[in-house]
Amino acid sequence: MAGPVPVASSLSDIYTVDAIGTQAKRWNNLLARFQTIYGQPAEFVARSPGRVNIIGEHIDYSLYPVLPMAITADSLLAVSTNVASTNTKEGHYKIKIANVQDAKFPAHEFDIPYEAVDIDATVHEWTNYFKSGLKGALELLRKKHGNDFEPKSMQILMDGTVPAGGGLSSSAAFVSSSALAVMVANGEKTVDKTELTELAIVSERAVGVNSGGMDQSASVFSERGSALFVSFTPSLKARPVSFPKTNPELTFLIAQSFVTADKFVTGPVHYNLRVVECSLAAAYLNAVLNPPGTQLPSDASPLSVSLHGFHETYFALQEHSSGATKSKSTESQLEELVALTAEKLDKRDGYTREEIAAVLNISVDELNKKFTSRFPVRAEKFKLRQRALHVFSEALRVLKFMSLLEQQPTNTDDTSEYNAQLGDLLNQTQDSCRDVYECSCKEIDELCSIARKAGSYGSRLTGAGWGGCSVHLVPAGKVKAVREAWEREYYSKLDLSEEQKEAAVVVSKPGSGSAVYLVDDKPGPVVVDDRDRGSEVY
Ligand code: ATP
Ligand code: GLA
Ligand code: MG
């Protein structure tokens, strides 16, 4: 899985056969518009997809493994570095960036000083996502080539098909493709997937959302036909996971709620607050369960202290003091942590800053500095009990889901029972997201219950939640019934454009991850396969 980002020689390397027709038109349109806007051809296209998360919600920033997969919808950046330097400020390089959806995302031109990329995270501006990829990529380039490395100017045209704020991670697709574009524009012949992912994870935080690493990993590492098991400790690792053959066959349906959940806007009361609550829960559990003075390890989580870090420290100390020779299984450790959380974090209405600071033996100022100053949050009370219960139980569900996939169904003629077990875990995730983590919304709950009634084995929100998308594990024979039920009971009640109606529900097959396509050596329309090289495709 690790290794360099692939260089595609044709669209067939990137998309499945059924998607090629639409994609070839789109790519040709992107390249033609690039020529019109900048008066010259693009040199290459950097591509990164969105993702759907199958299971493991809101646990990546606590450093527990997750199971997402890439989707076909993606972010494309067509790029040329042939930029006239005549009107660029001294000591600066130029970035010209435009979007095919120019009414929604207007074009910009920046002169950026060699030393630093300035991102104003207080404004919600689409080009911030490019700048965050730029910033991260330049840090890596400087590590490789020294501090006096001078970045190249770039002209860019973007085309993103992942719905923005729709829970399918348009942001990570955009940031990962931006970082990839900057690396290639600056002469990197190969871009390492792990390095790209790690820098994209950290860079996206510059936009103002304290996110985990699932989306960028799925976007960069995914392989066509497989889901991706991503683990974050001791270091970032991703491996493809295939679903066994089942009867009835299983299909993943993704359904939009059309409730836009903008993490940037709602971060202080939703996403960023959850990140803070999880880190505070880790610190609190450490204070009440580990010997006095125990320090949690500083790790790769957004606030450097995570529930996973607490988990490892707690059991390492337990084993050490009991002289145990064999470690407990991770499943039984997580079960124990669920029980301990229920006992030790017993305040259901949450904890004030003063209460937490007293237990951590620090002042409220110190607590604010360490936990709530990196990203602003608004809360009187922090629901440590609920957040830790969700994280430990969800981490356990991921392991159970993985062990079902590894077991394979016993009765291959009829795997209904096996399918139902997989679905049941997804349903449990939804219950926990709705009631314990409080990241669902009534529209998503409704889509899930309509789907289950029409035959879905398991239905839940996917991504950050509070709107956005839902994912459903549906037997192939019930896909039509589920779609009809949504249309009748949900979508027909909304005022949707034709375009929205078409995008409302998609059958998702696991797609491939990031790729680079060099236009230089292939003049004319994009290549669909070798026989079509250089000839008109559609
Ligand atoms: P989630 O993180 O829940 O999976 P998401 O990534 O789609 O969903 P956000 O993290 O809120 O949602 O990011 C959405 C932002 O990304 C948009 O507001 C916009 O600034 C930027 N963005 C996404 N797609 C595009 C695009 N095609 N063109 C320009 N900017 C885009
Ligand atoms: C967003 C974040 C991810 C992850 C999910 C919830 O998509 O970007 O890192 O936390 O929410 O699982
Ligand atoms: Mg996002």
Render pLDDT for 197-222 as a digit per residue (tens, 0 to 9): 999 999 988 887 889 999 999 999 99
In a domain, 500, yes or no: no
Q: What is the largest CA-CA distance in the chain?
A: 72
Expressed as residue numbers, the domain containing 365 is: 271-386
Distance between CA 518 and CA 533 in Å, rounded? 13
- Token code pair at residue 382: 């922090």
pLDDT digits (tens, 9 = 90+) for 98-157: 999 999 999 999 999 998 899 888 888 999 999 999 999 999 999 999 998 999 999 999
* Ligand 1 center–CA 294 separation, angstroms: 40
Q: Using a 6 Å cutoff on CB, does residue 169 contact ligand 1?
A: yes
For the segment 338-345, the average pLDDT, to the nearest whole number, is: 98
**pLDDT, position 523:** 60
- Token code pair at residue 363: 């002042």
Q: How many separate domains does the chain show?
A: 2
Q: What is the CATH number of the domain that holds 99?
A: 3.30.230.10
Helices (H) and strands (E) in the chain, counts: 16, 15
> To which H or E segment does residue 181 belong?
helix 170-185
Residues 239, 118 within the same domain? yes
Per the prediction, the chain carries an average pLDDT of 93
pLDDT digits (tens, 9 = 90+) for 270-303: 999 999 999 999 999 999 999 999 999 999 999 9
Q: What is the CATH number of the domain that holds 307?
A: 1.20.1440.340
Contact (Cβ atoms closer than 8 angstroms) between residue 57 and residue 429: yes
- What residue ranges line ligand 2, CB within 6 angstroms? 53, 57-58, 60-61, 169, 211-212, 214-215, 463-464
pLDDT at 524 over 90: no
Residues 81, 130 within the same domain? yes
Residues 166, 233 within the same domain? yes
Pocket test for ligand 1, best of 127, 170, 257, 440 (most atoms within 8 A of CB): 170
In a domain, 78, yes or no: yes
Rg over alpha carbons for the chain, rounded to the nearest Å, is 24
DSSP letter string over 87-129?
TSPTTEEEEEEEESSTTTS--EEEEEESS-----TTS--THHH
Contact (Cβ atoms closer than 8 angstroms) between residue 175 and residue 203: yes
Using alpha carbons, list the distances in angstroms from residue 352 to 280, 282, 384.
11, 16, 10
Q: What is the sign, positive or negative, of the torsion defined by CA atoms of 261, 133, 305, 232?
A: positive
Residues 146, 41 within the same domain? yes
In a domain, 285, yes or no: yes
Using alpha carbons, list the distances in angstroms from residue 506 to 220, 321, 483.
21, 53, 10
Pocket test for ligand 2, best of 48, 55, 58 (most atoms within 8 A of CB): 58
**pLDDT, position 115:** 87
Residues 232, 300 within the same domain? no
What is the chain's length? 538
Contact (Cβ atoms closer than 8 angstroms) between residue 474 and residue 456: yes
Distance of CA 110 to the CA centre of its chain: 28
Query: Can you tell me which atom of ligand 1 is nearest the CA of 158?
Result: 28
215: annotated active-site residue: yes
In a domain, 453, yes or no: no
* Ligand 3 center–CA 75 separation, angstroms: 13
**pLDDT, position 116:** 87
Residues 83, 205 within the same domain? yes
Query: Can you tell me which atom of ligand 1 is nearest the CA of 171?
Result: 6
Distance between CA 192 and CA 180 in Å, rounded? 10
* Ligand 1 center–CA 249 separation, angstroms: 32
> Which band of pLDDT confidence, cut at 50, 70 and 90, is reported for residue 537?
very low
In a domain, 439, yes or no: no
- Domain final position from 329, 359, 386: 386
* Ligand 3 center–CA 128 separation, angstroms: 13
pLDDT at 262 over 80: no
pLDDT at 403 over 70: yes
